[in-house]
Structure 1
Amino acid sequence: HPPATSAWWQVDVMVAERRRRALTRFSIGTAAVVGTLLLLYWAINTFFPPSPEAVLMVETNSAIDAALQQGDFAAARQAVEQARTQAPNEPELWLWDVTLSEQLGDQTRAEASLAKAKELLSDQPTGLWLTLGNQRMQVGNLDGAEAAANEAIALSPNEPQAYFLLGGIAEARGDYAKAIELFDKTYQLAEADNPQLAVIAKVRMGNLLQRADPFATAPIAETPAAETPATAPTPTP
């Protein structure tokens, strides 16, 4: 090989060195970011650990969702029963028991669990019906969800979440005009105190307006062309 004395050889060496340094800096920077994230994760879990109840509910809701995706209401209720051995006074679990027992045709158990939930949420009756309504909606019990939403409205006539729930029910039934009206009411009630819900309602309403296509017009009937009058024959001289 010729000696590395040419200018081009020296340029190649300089470029390679710069690339090596850039790669080193990138590796160090990436390692620092990953290390910082790991340290932050450790600090949060060490100094601000999530409560066991919160972890339990996250895991239970995940198990319920998985069972519902398979249409297995019995397995979903079994997950609720298992969680209730660790958190017997968690209202959400009792409400899930209501919802799932209704789907399984066990009305007696559903009524007993509802009574227990009412006892635990005696100071939050509107929240009880909203939670139950959303759960019923999740399992496809639209009539039950509507009844729960109306119970919430009877207690709190200006509760935007109740109208939002009714809007979702109307949408699921294909009644887009009613759903748009209910989402609009949700927006008006939530705009001041619950801006996040107001934005969501506005987006849902906009999507429905596009799906409903209210500006569609009936096809225009074709007008038959006017007949051309026959030309009179020219008289023969």
Structure 2
Amino acid sequence: MSQSRATAADAMETAYGFATVGGGAEKQERVNAVFHRVAERYDLMNDLMSGGMHRAWKAAMVAWLSPPHRPEFRFVDVAGGTGDVAFRIVEASRGRAHGTVVDINASMLGVGAERAIKRKLSDNLAFLEGNAEKLPLPDNYFDAYTIAFGIRNVPRIGTALEEAYRVLKPGGRFLCLEFSEVELPVLEKVYDAWSFKAIPRIGQMVANDRESYEYLVESIRRFPNQTNFAATIRQAGFERVAYRNLSGGIAAIHSGWKL
């Protein structure tokens, strides 16, 4: 089941899982179709992909961000249409932070906006349809940019990182949570067996959608490892780039600063 990871993020532009497609536009169209299909079951999808651990990993990312308890703190959460990360940031700020949730997929944004109303957080959050490679947002505006389990689905990752740099204020922080390269050989074998054998079958049973779950598993294995992704973040202009592995490297949080 092994497939070589991309050594540089630009190799992901034509990678649709293990298949090769005809460039950014085709990949974006295919990825959009996946997320239209799974929008209503997105949290279930993350539970399947992570064994339920994505909740703890998101909490770890928000804890590392440590949003201050002041109303002028502004953040943008990209590819976070269902609002899961944005809700956590607002709650961690004791309801003072204000965020913009940007997603290219209207189905995901619809789920997030409904949830924000139910959680009484709609005054703190705006939901905006937009592309991570060309954000409809001003320069030097946000204190933080977050993205969780979204960057590997962006065709031109380097362009998205440059956009993150552009919209952040000087002194602003970039945080990315993404599935990554497992460090422990024994854990890797167990994780591979779960990913390639169990997840597509469960996707078929639960969502009647094996293909989407196969793509998501494969896209994880193609994404650059922790060191290579950190190098890509530096190339976009960020400084003090660091990462923390979670659960033996199944996921990792990358951090960078616009200084």
Question: TM-score, normalising length from structure 1?
Answer: 0.28
More helix per residue: 1
Q: Which structure: greater strand fraction?
A: 2
TM-score scaled by structure 2?
A: 0.26
Between structure 1 and structure 2, the one with the greater Rg is 1
Considering Cα pairs closer than 8 Å and 6+ residues apart, tell me whether 1 or 2 has the greater RCO: 2
